[in-house]
Chain A
Amino acid sequence: DTAVSQTPKYLVTQMGNDKSIKCEQNLGHDTMYWYKQDSKKFLKIMFSYNNKELIINETVPNRFSPKSPDKAHLNLHINSLELGDSAVYFCASSQGHLYEQYFGPGTRLTVT
């Protein structure tokens, strides 16, 4: 069984479009995250949620809006996509924020 799953795996879209990425975890964890990994492999946190409550919101443009309908799901909606948004986006989960994180397979977003 997949622990942390993301859909879609690949996303190619044009500038100005709006897109969403979905994430689900079946580990029973209470904390979920979104990370962005750029072309230089730098892994940076964007958001974290604990029990559906937003805990961390890094300096991410307002065009990015996370939504957590329940503890097992954390989705990411991106409005008005820009070229600089091209990256791999990873969802992750953990039990509390202190312990090991389990990453989803990633969504490679390409904005043309």
Chain B
Amino acid sequence: QQPVQSPQAVILREGEDAVINCSSSKALYSVHWYRQKHGEAPVFLMILLKGGEQKGHDKISASFNEKKQQSSLYLTASQLSYSGTYFCGTMDTGRRALTFGSGTRLQVQP
């Protein structure tokens, strides 16, 4: 089952902050975050593993609530280059593949 992302879209001014949420109804082993710019491939941002290990981007942070099966991506002091569609991908325990959410379209304006 596909994880639910919110919001579906957000518009920011440069320098503003944003939070993108991802929740699943299944027990998760990990949550991945990717950003896709128009006409390009998804690019890895962040991975959060059960047990607290976290790897990713130094200008973007994220959290993973294992009890609630929820993750949030925090974009602070947004830049124009942050614009794109953000996808969370969840990996259920026992499944060796990611299931992606429907994406959050983020637009940063000058």
Contacts and interface: CB of A to CB of B under 8 A. Distances in A.
A45 B41 contact: no
Interface string A25-59: 00000000100000011111100101000011010
A97 interface: yes
A100 B98 contact: no
Interface in A53-112: 55-56, 58, 90, 97-106
A103 B43 CA distance: 7
A42 B102 contact: yes
Contacts of A43: 42, 87, 100, 103
Nearest to B99: A45
A90 B55 CA distance: 23
Contacts of B49: 98
Nearest to A6: B41
Interface of B: 29-30, 32, 34, 36, 40-44, 47, 49, 55, 85, 87, 91, 96-100, 102-103
Interface of A: 33, 40-45, 48, 50, 55-56, 58, 90, 97-106
